[in-house]
Amino acid sequence: MLKKLLMLCLAAIVLLAGLWQLARQPDYQLFGTLVPRVDTAEKLVALTFDDGPTPFGTDRVLALLDEHAVPATFFLNGRAMAQHPGLAHRIVESGHQIANHSWSHSRMVFRSPAFMRSELDRTDALIRGAGFQGEIVFRPPYGKKLFVLPWVLRERDTTTVTWDVDPETGLGPDVTSETLVERVRNEVRPGSIILLHVMFRSREASMAAVPELIETLEADGYRFVTVNDLIAMSPGNQALGN
């Protein structure tokens, strides 16, 4: 009896570990529309930034994007937007897309539907208040999504946008901007969505990589668009994903 109980516990642990890994896969979602990239032969790419807005990062990255005349998509946290409302307005006024990255940046797994809806609704309201008029897409914090979140998103007809190029993952604090650019160049393809974090001082290498990344990909023939424009430009307006 004890042996059988131990086996059941072990099986449960293995199952939970598998579900936890599945929850973080950027190209898998159980319900609803998921966009890790779009299927297009045209050399289009979307540059996306997570978190914030922060006084440290927002103006710096907006200046870099303006200098290169490149649009980007900012996945913002509602709490940070509430703390710095002028920054969200500035992003919109600069011609960029704002998207929902939850209110609190909590892992949105093993949470109630009411919690999910609150995180989404409060942030959506601030995005509209900042002046953004397009479709509001969503990116889960840490990329984690399991059962409840995808179900709530499908209920709301909200598209989940993840990424297929993530140059920062697995690299230590001493990473250089050159390494990040090289990783992007090796992984990018038409329709890619690139993930970067530039809002905090710990991400100085990512901020420094932005101009070189833009120049490198443009030299390779790529054109930058927002996530919404990338989806709209895909053949048949169909995103890859489930």
Domain boundaries, the chain: 2-237
Q: Where are the alpha helices (DSSP H) in 30-95?
A: 58-68, 78-83, 85-93
pLDDT in the model for residue 93: 98
pTM, to two decimals: 0.88
Dihedral of CA 116/119/122/128: which sign? negative
In 3-state terms, what secondary structure has residue 229?
helix
pLDDT in the model for residue 57: 97
Buried b (16+ CB within 10 A) or exposed e, 47-65: bbbbbbbbebbbeebbebb
Token pair 């001082």 is found at 201
Task: Specify whether 50 is catalytic.
Answer: yes
Chain-centre distance for alpha carbon 174: 23
Stretches where the chain sits below pLDDT 70 are 1-25, 27, 235-242
CA atoms of 35 and 160, how far apart (whole Å):
6
CA atoms of 109 and 150, how far apart (whole Å):
10
Query: Is the distance from CB of 241 to CB of 33 less than 8 angstroms?
Result: yes
CA atoms of 231 and 242, how far apart (whole Å):
15
CA atoms of 164 and 85, how far apart (whole Å):
30
Cβ count within 10 A of residue 9: 10
CA atoms of 133 and 46, how far apart (whole Å):
19
DSSP code at position 202: G
pLDDT in the model for residue 22: 53
User: What tokens appear for 81 in the block?
Assistant: 């937007």
pLDDT in the model for residue 12: 41
> For residue 54, what are the contacts with CB-CB under 8 A and spacing of at least 6?
80, 84, 87, 199, 200
Whether residue 53 has a cis bond before it, omega within 30° of 0: yes
2-237: CATH, from 3.20.20.70, 3.40.47.10, 3.20.20.370, 3.30.1540.10: 3.20.20.370
What phi-psi label fits residue 35: left (phi over 0), alpha (psi between -120 and 50 degrees) or beta?
A: beta
> For residue 93, what are the contacts with CB-CB under 8 A and spacing of at least 6?
131
Say which of 27, 50, 66, 84 is annotated catalytic. Answer: 50
Query: Is the distance from CB of 32 to CB of 160 less than 8 angstroms?
Result: yes
pLDDT in the model for residue 54: 98
CA atoms of 8 and 16, how far apart (whole Å):
12
pLDDT in the model for residue 86: 96
Say which of 89, 166, 197, 229 is annotated catalytic. Answer: 197
